């Protein structure tokens, strides 16, 4: 049987809020569906496996941006090829920003991105921390926790979804994230796939189809999905309560 290979890029640098563990969520749900799957941690280009069915890039600190960018640049051609070939690439926080056109700092300095995704990260006044709820036309209702000090501009035509609560891309856009084909950038952390199993299943279905396999959530997923539903309902309830207080 084909083994689905999920690449976790730079997990030692890019794992704030456990975002690199989105790769583990994909692996476990694939196994629950009766599919063989593995996660390959990639710290350098030499670590890349021959087969890649999905890629996860988590978020790191600003102190690690230059190091992470230098390493990702060595895999620029592979990232472009994967995106063109329909390999799902999930990037979170600064991992997403590094795949963009670039990052602007408050002091005027910039970090050039890899240009895989449209838009760029720009300074904002104050850090955003809190719950976010997003309605995505492709992935449904998504919940997560956002923690970022930059807004994202230039991707108005291709967001992950519309905000129901939270700041998202900021600047009054009402949008969260960016999508270009199968390459996805988001502020949603937690990790996002654990809280949103339907999102994970969409990615897994795409992975399986490319590999000539069938995917359907296995019975064992029901238990984890129950926990995810409870967590989502609690988060949605908290957001609704906060909105009610704000409207009072």
pLDDT tens digits for range 209-236: 999 999 999 999 999 999 999 999 998 9
Cβ burial of 117 (10 Å; 0-12, 13-18, 19+) is buried
Say how far residue 105 (Cα) sits from the centre of its chain.
Answer: 22
Helix (H, G, I), strand (E, B) or coil at 81: helix
pLDDT for residue 107 is more than 70: yes
How does the average pLDDT of the chain come out, rounded? 94
Cβ burial of 32 (10 Å; 0-12, 13-18, 19+) is middle
CATH assignment, 3-247: 3.40.50.880
DSSP H or E run through 102:
strand 102-104
- Mutual angle of helices 197-210 and 221-247, in 10-degree steps: 130
The CB density around residue 163, as the number of other CB atoms within 10 Å, is 19
CA atoms in the 13 A half-sphere facing the CB of 154: 13
Give the 3-state secondary structure percentages of the chain, helix then strand then coil, rounded to 5: 35, 30, 35
Q: What is the pLDDT of residues 37-72, one digit of tens each?
A: 999 999 999 999 999 999 999 999 999 999 999 999
Provide the token pair at 113.
Answer: 């991105």
Helix (H, G, I), strand (E, B) or coil at 111: strand
In this structure, is the dihedral angle defined by the CA atoms of residues 48, 15, 102 and 152, taken in order, positive or negative? Answer: positive
**In the prediction, which pLDDT does 248 show?**
31
Determine the Cα–Cα distance for residues 136 and 102; give it in Å rounded to an integer.
25
pLDDT for residue 74 is more than 80: yes
pLDDT for residue 245 is more than 50: no
- Whose structure tokens read 């949008």? 175
């Amino acid at each position: 049987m084909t083994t689905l290979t999920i690449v976790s890029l730079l997990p030692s640098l890019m794992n704030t809020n456990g975002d690199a563990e989105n790769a583990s969520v994909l692996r476990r749900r694939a196994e629950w569906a009766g599919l063989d799957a593995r996660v390959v941690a990639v710290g350098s280009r030499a670590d890349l496996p021959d087969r890649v069915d999905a890629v996860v890039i988590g978020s790191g600190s600003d102190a690690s941006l230059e190091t992470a960018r230098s390493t990702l640049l060595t895999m620029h051609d592979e990232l472009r090829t994967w995106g063109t070939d329909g390999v799902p690439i999930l990037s979170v926080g600064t991992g997403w920003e590094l795949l963009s056109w670039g990052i602007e700092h408050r002091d005027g300095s910039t970090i050039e991105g890899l240009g895989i995704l449209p838009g760029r990260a720009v300074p904002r006044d104050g850090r955003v921390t809190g719950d976010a709820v997003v309605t995505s036309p492709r992935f449904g209702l998504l919940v997560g926790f956002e923690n970022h000090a930059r807004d994202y501009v230039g991707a108005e035509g291709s967001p992950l979804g519309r905000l129901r609560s939270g700041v998202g891309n900021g600047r009054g856009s009402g949008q969260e994230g960016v999508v270009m084909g199968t390459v996805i950038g988001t502020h949603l952390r937690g990790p996002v796939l654990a809280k949103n199993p339907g999102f994970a299943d969409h990615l897994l279905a795409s992975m399986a189809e490319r590999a000539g396999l069938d995917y359907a959530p296995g019975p064992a997923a029901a238990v984890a999905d129950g926990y995810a539903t409870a967590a989502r309902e609690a988060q949605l309830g908290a957001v609704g309560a906060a909105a009610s207080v704000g409207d009072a």
